[in-house]
Amino acid sequence: MKFLVLGATGRTGVLFVKKALDEGHQVTALVRRAGSSVDQRAQNVIGDVTAAAVIAKAAQGHDAIVSTLGVKSAGETPTLITDMVRAVITSAKTSGVDRFVVLSAFGVGDSLAKASFLVGPLFRTVLRKTYADKAASEVLLKASDLKWTLEYPGALNNGDSTRYSTAVLEDVKKTPIFPSTSRTNVADFLLRSAVGGTFIRQTAVVLDDRGRSRM
């Protein structure tokens, strides 16, 4: 398959790109500037991830768009994710690429009510602006005609865990007090969903499987 990746230079994006290429897929990375650190086997396209025309042109001939885009400063780019999602939705009218797999976060939207007493306050305070942007973007996404998938991992870690559990958000009854997911597992889920066409128009909670109670 052929993927257009947004956020390819981030820590999770780098892992996704490598994994996809290692498994024989083709990757185009939409990056902000020349010389960005992306796997040399990938094709780089320079442009703005919030520009629909740029995304539409880059996505031509691809099977899916995958976003691992993150926000470094909610104060500087408070609507980055919403603007990116809006651009992808618009781009599909021209590119014809309607499969969109997106990395979000547990604690966004309806998942906040499922958070433990320990992390719930964190989502409502420290991460409030970042999560508000993600939530707003997902309202647009769910109202669109795209074949979208949202991945909700726990707190991202750099561990080497390769086992994880996955559940549709609506089916999640219980989560760990401090849910966590390795970037390796996040990237693996994104690739499996994109390739297999799974969790279409669904939100999937993806957590490291450490032998604790399942969701």
pLDDT, one tens digit per residue, over 47-103 is 999 999 999 999 999 999 999 999 877 777 789 999 999 999 999 999 999 999 999
Q: What is the pLDDT confidence band of residue 177, given thresholds at 50, 70 and 90?
A: confident
Residues with Cβ within 8 Å of residue 57, at least 6 apart in sequence: 95
What is residue 206's three-state secondary structure?
A: strand
Q: What is the pLDDT confidence band of residue 214, given thresholds at 50, 70 and 90?
A: low
Determine contact, residues 28/97, Cβ cutoff 8 Å: no
Over the stretch 9-31, which tens digit does the pLDDT of each residue have? 999 999 999 999 999 999 999 99
Which domains are present in the chain? Answer: 2-208 (3.40.50.720)
Tell me, what's the pLDDT at 124? 75
Query: What is the C-alpha radius of gyration for the chain, rounded to an integer number of angstroms?
Result: 16
Here the tokens at position 61 are 């001939």
Q: What is the pLDDT confidence band of residue 181, given thresholds at 50, 70 and 90?
A: very high
Q: What mean pLDDT comes out for the span 26-38?
A: 90
Taken as a whole, the chain contains a residue count of: 215
Q: What mean pLDDT comes out for the span 129-153?
A: 96
Residues with Cβ within 8 Å of residue 54, at least 6 apart in sequence: 30, 45, 47, 48, 87
Q: What is the pLDDT confidence band of residue 176, given thresholds at 50, 70 and 90?
A: confident
Over the stretch 157-175, which tens digit does the pLDDT of each residue have? 999 878 999 999 999 988 8
CA distance to 34, 39, 96, 100, per residue, from 20 (Å): 22, 11, 22, 16
Here the tokens at position 71 are 């926000």
Instruction: Please give the model's pTM, rounded to 2 decimal places.
Output: 0.92
Q: What mean pLDDT comes out for the span 29-44?
A: 90
CA distance to 106, 112, 194, per residue, from 169 (Å): 9, 11, 18
Tell me, what's the pLDDT at 215? 66
Residues with Cβ within 8 Å of residue 75, at least 6 apart in sequence: 129
What is residue 87's three-state secondary structure?
A: helix
